[in-house]
Amino acid sequence: MTRRAPSPTLQPGDTVGILGGGQLGRMLSLAAASLGLRTHIYCPDEDCPASHVSARFTQAAYDDEKALKDFAAAVDVVTYEFENVPVDAVAVLEAAGATVRPGAMALEKAQDRLVEKQFVRSLGVATADFHGVDDLAALEQGLKEVGRPAILKTRRLGYDGKGQTRLTDPDIDLHASFEKAVAYAWAEVGAAPSILEAFVPFEREISIIGARAADGDIRLYDPIENVHASGILKTSTAPARVAPETRAEAEQATVAILKALDYAGVIGVEFFVLPGGAVVVNEMAPRVHNSGHLTADACAVSQFEQHIRAVAGWPLGDPARHSDAVMENLIGDEVGKWRDIVREANAALHLYGKGEARPGRKMGHVTRLTST
Ligand code: AMP
One domain, residues 209 and 193: no
161 pLDDT band, cuts 50/70/90, is: low
One domain, residues 220 and 352: yes
CA-proximal residue: ligand 1, atom 7 (nearest): 231
What pLDDT sits at residue 371?
Answer: 79
- In the listed set 85, 100, 115, which residue is the last one of a domain according to the structure? 100
Residue 257 lies in a domain: yes
One domain, residues 210 and 311: yes
Residue 116 lies in a domain: no
**Cα 164 to ligand 1 centroid, rounded to whole Å:** 9
Residue 45 lies in a domain: yes
Domains identified in the chain, total number: 3
**Cα 234 to ligand 1 centroid, rounded to whole Å:** 13
Q: Which atom of ligand 1 is nearest to the CA of 233?
A: 10
104 contacts: CB under 8 Å, gap ≥ 6: 87, 90, 91, 94
pLDDT at 162 over 90: no
One domain, residues 93 and 141: no
One domain, residues 256 and 343: yes
CB 266 within 8 A of CB 254: no
3 pLDDT band, cuts 50/70/90, is: very low
CA-proximal residue: ligand 1, atom 2 (nearest): 161
Q: State the CATH number of the domain containing residue 39.
A: 3.40.50.20
What pLDDT sits at residue 2?
Answer: 42
Distance CA 264, CA 57 (A): 24
- Name residue 207's beta-bridge partners: 224, 270
**Averaged pLDDT of the chain:** 94
Residue 354 lies in a domain: yes
Task: Give the count of beta carbons closer than 10 Å to the beta carbon of residue 147.
Answer: 12
57 pLDDT band, cuts 50/70/90, is: very high
What is the pTM for the complete model shown?
0.94
What are the distances in angstroms from CA 359 to CA 330, 342, 362? Answer: 11, 23, 9
One domain, residues 178 and 216: no
Query: pLDDT (tens digit, 9 = 90+) per residue, 335-365?
Result: 999 999 999 999 999 999 999 999 999 999 9
Which protein residues are within 6 Å of ligand 1, measured from CB?
A: 128, 151, 158, 161, 197, 199-200, 205, 228, 231, 282-283
One domain, residues 189 and 212: no
What pLDDT sits at residue 210?
Answer: 98
The parent domain of residue 183 ranges over 129-198
102 pLDDT band, cuts 50/70/90, is: very high
Per the model's pLDDT, the better-predicted residue between 244 and 170 turns out to be: 244
Query: 3-state DSSP call for residue 308?
Result: helix
- In the listed set 198, 233, 255, which residue is the last one of a domain according to the structure? 198
Q: State the CATH number of the domain containing residue 190.
A: 3.30.1490.20
What are the φ and ψ backbone dihedral angles of 152, each rounded to 5 degrees? -100, 125
Residue 269 lies in a domain: yes
One domain, residues 194 and 341: no
**Cα 340 to ligand 1 centroid, rounded to whole Å:** 32
What are the distances in angstroms from CA 228 to CA 203, 233, 363? Answer: 13, 4, 16
CB 203 within 8 A of CB 259: no
One domain, residues 162 and 229: no
Q: What is the DSSP letter of 68?
A: H
Beta strands in 190-332 (DSSP E): 194-198, 204-212, 218-220, 224-229, 232-238, 265-273, 279-285, 323-331
- In the listed set 198, 223, 256, which residue is the last one of a domain according to the structure? 198
One domain, residues 193 and 227: no
One domain, residues 88 and 48: yes
Our mutation pick for probing the ligand 1 site, out of 224, 282, 284, 329, counting the most ligand atoms within 8 A of Cβ, is 282
Our mutation pick for probing the ligand 1 site, out of 151, 166, 236, counting the most ligand atoms within 8 A of Cβ, is 151
**Cα 201 to ligand 1 centroid, rounded to whole Å:** 10
Within 13 Å and on the Cβ side, how many CA atoms surround 206?
27
11 contacts: CB under 8 Å, gap ≥ 6: none
CB 14 within 8 A of CB 38: yes
